[in-house]
Amino acid sequence: MKIGAFLIRSAIIAALGGLLFGFDTAVISGAEQNLQQLFSGTYESLATSMSGIALLGRSSFWHGCTTASALIGTIIGAWLASKPSDSMGRKKTLSILALLYFVSAVGSAIAWDWWSFVIARFIGGLAVGGSSVVGPIYIAEISPAKSRGRLVALMQFNIVLGILLAFLSNYIIGTLRLGQLEWRWMFGVEAFPAAAFFVLLFLNPPSPRWLMTKNRSDDARGVMQQLGEENIEQEMAEIQDSIDLAHHTMKEPFFNKKYLTPIMLAFLIAAFNQLSGINALLYYSKRIFEMAGASADIARLQSVIVGATNLVFTMLAMAVIDHFGRKKLMLVGSIGYIISLTTVAWAFYTDKGGAIVLASFILFIAAHAFGQGAVIWVFISEIFPNRVRAKGQALGSFTHWFMCAGIAWTFPMLAEKTGAHVFAFYAAMMVLQLIWVIFIMPETKGISLEKIQKELGID
């Protein structure tokens, strides 16, 4: 099926939220050690004031809090995003998120103390969480079934492109030897793509499925014509049938027995995504490679290599996701996770380090990009019916970011003792993921959103 230029352009623009998502996620990896030194006095003060509570009395706990501050925002942003997405529309919500990205980038760059930095990062987290919900929904709802996987995977492509750009930007800024201004530039450059995202969104149409939930059928028909939909009337009939506004309302309770299957599928794929330890690597890549014996500059360069690997294998996954299907990619990715994480754990247990850790993490990021990374947002955007899709995407994103915050917050404390136990735990979790993929995960490739709803037993 030929994909029209207007559809491709609209999907690419919407997926720019993913680029900012990825950049904002990874940029702190190059700055977190500078921030630890800069805010060490604050950490000591907070630790002293909480000395009666063992966990809160650690400086590493408060540094984990700094790193996770954006993630607290992602949890809230993911959970709340469905409401404006359903009431105002996907497109308008994306525009608000673009503004939040901009405010966060500027605010992080000019932060004058720990509190102002944490608040600015929290605002960015709201944007990341919201983007993880609204971006995939919007692209899924403008895409035909046969090309939906590839188009929604543009979100993941841009996420990993953003991660690579963050690693590359950190490396370049690090070579400039800017001293105390270095970390400010690392965060501040994000303001430029955020502004571009906001402006370009004016070129996109509203989601036709959202328009139909608002009884704007004529507008929806016009958008479908622009997008090149071949069977407009049939598609509109299926959408209307799935919404079934005569018997269901957009205020129907989400936590309902009829939605139990997609709820559990979304929860588990999102939880497993983070239990792989992917964001421990993204947030602390420089620290991890230094733990394995690399110098600061080499550690930053190795982070760029990891980011480039992520991008290459994401592109490969995008090319085959609508042919191989979601489940096969998850199978391959799970096996790659298990091999790489087991090897990393062994390397830290035996103090091998160096090239073995780098090679293992390259395999790890390749497995992630080809499997979970390419599948998660596509899969969650597909398995919920129209009337609760935004809430379902919010649940998946909330779970993803809640788990991510826990990992990012605790990793500095765990890494102080040994990295081996941490990576062994991640490997064990991926064994459980492999079992889930084999026996429980359904295949959704090439099936319309409305038919997926019926196959999952939802009336």
- Residue 201 DSSP one-character state: G
Question: How far is Cα 284 from Cα 155, in angstroms, rounded to an integer?
Answer: 23
Asked whether the beta carbons of 64 and 412 are under 8 A apart, the reply is yes
Q: Can you state the percent helix, strand and coil of the chain, rounding each to 5?
A: 80, 0, 20
Which CATH superfamily, name and number, covers 5-455? MFS general substrate transporter like domains (1.20.1250.20)
φ, ψ dihedrals at 335, nearest 5°: -65, -45
- Please state, in angstroms and as integers, the Cα–Cα distance from residue 332 to each residue in 100, 113, 139, 311, following that order: 36, 45, 25, 17
**Calculated CA dihedral for residues 441, 16, 301, 295, nearest 10 degrees:** -80
- The pLDDT profile of the chain, 459 residues, written as one tens digit per residue, is 456 888 899 999 999 999 998 899 889 888 888 888 888 888 788 777 765 555 554 677 777 788 888 888 988 988 888 889 988 999 999 999 999 999 999 999 999 999 999 999 999 999 998 998 899 889 988 887 777 777 877 887 888 899 899 999 999 998 898 888 999 999 999 999 999 999 999 999 999 888 988 888 889 888 888 887 777 888 788 777 766 643 455 566 888 888 999 999 999 999 999 999 998 888 888 788 887 788 878 888 888 998 899 899 988 988 888 888 999 999 999 999 999 999 999 988 888 777 888 899 999 999 999 999 889 988 998 898 877 887 888 899 889 888 988 888 778 777 766 668 889 999 999 999 999 999 999 999 888 877 888 888 886
How far from chain centre, in Å, is Cα 284? 16
Q: Please, what is the end-to-end C-alpha distance for the chain in angstroms? A: 29
Going from N- to C-terminal start, the domains of the chain cover 5-455
Question: How far is Cα 13 from Cα 11, in angstroms, rounded to an integer?
Answer: 6
Q: 230: which 2 tokens?
A: 């071949």
